[in-house]
Structure 1
């Protein structure tokens, strides 16, 4: 099985504390059968992040009754790993390859105005009103991930979703959240058994 170099390109993988599916696609011509074994590939610049992601997602797939393997032991980071990917798919007996990568990271700043302006009554009344009307400013970092599933038997992209969530540094917890969102969807869509 071959993946395009753009899919294997290294990017910083970030996790999300909660995720929602923002877009999805399934190949309407793909008839299956659903996969019962999956090779998990996390695309990340950090080898530690990749290992945490792959190990956690593999554990979640196994808990859902799917045979799964991580790619990091056999596939080195970077584009050079694509040459070994086909051999790894065969040696693990994987019927599908699940690839997750960061698509976008964006900072959002929200300014909530206070409940009104400064009030009269001299300086003391003005000061109390000014304090009460100070806006609240919050910053949130949102991460959009793209997760794709390739049918290794047909060497074909069959399913992809984009998810969005608030960034976190707890990669295992974020990966569990992502897996708990995607695995039931993959089963419902007939991609996994």
Structure 2
């Protein structure tokens, strides 16, 4: 699971009962930049090629659904290894395809934590509560209820810190950024969808992309 998260690293989360467990913890936009974005080069720095392509494809689709052209790094460069991603290569690729902006997603760190789950007492009745026709005092009493107590225990978890940065390529300046924290994701795809919504919502709020039609 950790390999998968760090691999997809650039983007992602959900957990336990399926409730969302990622949240945006930091958000910034250059107040002097208003776009528009016309062609975005999407770069994921995930370790594994398969995960990197999955992330890049999903974010490219997010932009194209809003009428903005998007090209993934693996399409623009033809180089499958994450080690091929460097400043010179990115500038060259963006210029070659005519991209006016570059979005980079990356894993910036992890934190280990532990939660204590306290003991609890569970109460159960020895009869069907709703079957009143077959209940009586002799049956219900004296064992009206039984009690079961579970001991307390510790649960380990990992927090993944994921960053998304958008650069405009004319002056090669950072114009938008968010940091999201993800808590023990259970599904790659669920996490990816959740982070995609966070990114698109922030970009829409900053008027960098139009709402999805």
Superposition TM-score tier, normalisation by shorter sequence: 0.7 to 0.9
TM-score (norm: length of structure 1): 0.75
For residue 70 of structure 1, report the CA deviation from its aligned partner: 0.5
CA spacing shift, 1:36–1:184, aligned 2, 3 Å: farther
Q: Paired residue for 1:50, among 49, 52, 60?
A: 52
Q: Distance in 2 between matches of 1:90 and 1:170?
A: 36
What is residue 174 of structure 1 aligned with on the other side?
A: 191
Residues 118-157 of structure 1 correspond to what in structure 2 (within 5 A)? 132=149, 134-157=151-174
Q: Paired residue for 1:23, among 15, 21, 26?
A: 26
- Specify the structure having the higher radius of gyration (Cα): 2
TM-score (norm: length of structure 2): 0.69
- Alignment pair present for 1:84 and 2:101: no
What is residue 110 of structure 1 aligned with on the other side?
A: 115
Structure 2 unmatched runs, 5+ = 1-5, 15-19, 122-145
Task: Answer yes or no: is the 8 Å Cα contact 2:7–2:52 preserved in 1.
Answer: no
Q: Distance in 1 between matches of 2:103 and 2:161?
A: 16
For residue 144 of structure 1, report the CA deviation from its aligned partner: 1.1
CA spacing shift, 1:80–1:96, aligned 2, 3 Å: closer
What is residue 35 of structure 2 aligned with on the other side?
A: 33
- Find the residue that maps to 1:72 and give its secondary structure: helix
Q: How many pairs align?
A: 170
For residue 115 of structure 1, report the CA deviation from its aligned partner: 4.2
CA spacing shift, 1:169–1:36, aligned 2, 3 Å: farther
Structure 1 unmatched runs, 5+ = 1-10, 117-127
Task: Answer yes or no: is the 8 Å Cα contact 2:66–2:209 preserved in 1.
Answer: no
